[in-house]
Structure 1
Amino acid sequence: MLSFEQKKKVIESFSELSKKEISLNRLNFHFNESLYEKTIVVEKLHPNGNGFVFVGDLGKYEDESNEKGLVNIREYDEAKLREIIEDAIFYLSSDHEQPIVEEWISKNGTILTLAHEKRNWNIYYHENLEESFGTKEAAITYLHEEGFRKK
């Protein structure tokens, strides 16, 4: 496990990140060129070595991230820390998502389209937006509750 100072040095080597001091001697590192409202890449880096990196819904970190898209980096070594920061910056700097589109059908034949667009899961009836969700799980729960199944 890297110390606070070692993690800070690695993070500061990313010139595209800017440091902001917050409470309890913790640090946030922002990516101001983010294409999204979210700009914090490293969140709450604490002198005890704890901290988080925002990875959103990148599948690579699905097993490590919490519901807010944060990964705890307490036990990360330098290589893993560099990799996750690079991935986070890439995630926030590009519209790299492959479109995911699924059709869902009800018992009476109504078809809705579930589409992953710019980090949201949108449900359409024809071309009209019906609902929007932050996670695929929430969208699927809604569809099931409304009596739809994947086509």
Structure 2
Amino acid sequence: MLSFQEKLELFTSFPKLTRNDVSMGRVNFHFEGSLHEKKTVVYRLHPNGSGYIFAGLLDGYETDDKGYTSIRDMDAEELRRLTSASIASLSKAPSAPAQEPGQSRAARRRRMTKSHWMNAEGNSLELRNEEDLWYLYAGLNLEMAFETYDEAEEYLLEEGFKPQA
């Protein structure tokens, strides 16, 4: 396992990433050129060696609900490859939220950064993923916040809203 210092040096070598020191000695690295709401590529890099990289738009990585995969035991080559792939994925314009043939529901959720919902009365809401939460807006007004897409989707469907293409 690479040390905290070795990981810091590796991530610092990416000129597109900006270092952000956070609480308890942890460090995040942001990609300000992201075309998605998500800008954090390296999340909670901790002096004990744990941390996460955003892989929510990539295939082949086991991710949490926020799209992050653990980097604790990755070697330098794996970290460079994953970091480059993460930056590349965030450099591409977001895909439409509609389900593509053969695309799993989980993959669709990870790719979605915002979607529009409408009910039978014509009321419209927008669901947006911003960093770690899903926010529901009615125009410019924040209506609710959810920890996961599934919670937001369940609420919207229960309230009679349907996703718009």
TM-score tier after normalising by the smaller chain length: 0.5 to 0.7
Q: How much identity, in percent, do the aligned residues show?
A: 34
- Give the 3 Å change call, closer, same or farther, for CA 96–87 of structure 1 in structure 2: farther
Q: Which moved more, 1:133-142 or 1:80-89?
A: 133-142
Shift of 1:60: 1.4
1:107 is matched with: none
Partner in structure 2 of residue 42 of structure 1: 42
Q: Paired residue for 2:88?
A: 90
Partner of 2:72: 74
Q: In 2, distance between residues paired with 1:77 and 1:17?
A: 19
Task: Summarize the Cα distance change of 1:13–1:21 in structure 2 as closer, same or farther, 3 Å threshold.
Answer: same
Corresponding residue pairs, total = 132
Deviation at 1:46, TM superposition (A): 0.7
SS, match of residue 60 in structure 1 = coil
Distance 1:66 1:130 in 2: 29
Q: CA deviation at 1:36?
A: 2.2
Task: Verify the 8 A CA contact 1:52 1:70 in the aligned structure 2.
Answer: yes
For 1:10-21, what aligned pairs fall within 5 Å after superposition? 10-21=10-21
* Structure 2 residue aligned with 1:2: 2
For structure 2, the 5+ residue unaligned runs are 101-107, 128-133, 135-147, 161-165
Deviations 1:5-53 (A, max 9, x none): 1111111110010111111111111111111222111011111110111
Separation (CA, whole Å) in 2 of partners of 1:101 and 1:23: 38
Residue of structure 2 equivalent to 1:25? 25
TM-score by length of 2: 0.61
| Counterpart mapping for 1:114-125 below 5 A | 118-120=112-114
Alpha carbons of 1:140 and 1:40: their partners in 2 closer, same or farther (altered >3 Å)?
closer
Output one character per residue of 1:94-122: Cα deviation in whole Å (capped at 9) or x when no partner.
1164x57459xxxxxxxxxxx88754466
| Gap runs ≥5 in structure 1 | 104-114, 147-151
Higher strand share: 1
Larger of the two Rg values belongs to structure: 1
CA RMSD of aligned residues (A): 3.4
Q: Secondary structure at the match of 2:59?
A: helix
**In structure 2, distance between residues paired with 1:43 and 1:52:** 5
CA contact (8 A) 2:58 2:86 kept: no
Evaluate the alpha carbon distance shift between residue 60 and residue 80 of structure 1 in structure 2; reply closer, same or farther with a 3 A threshold.
Answer: same
The alignment partner of 1:65 has SS state of: coil
Alignment map for 1:60-71 (pairs within 5 Å): 60-61=59-60, 63-71=61-69
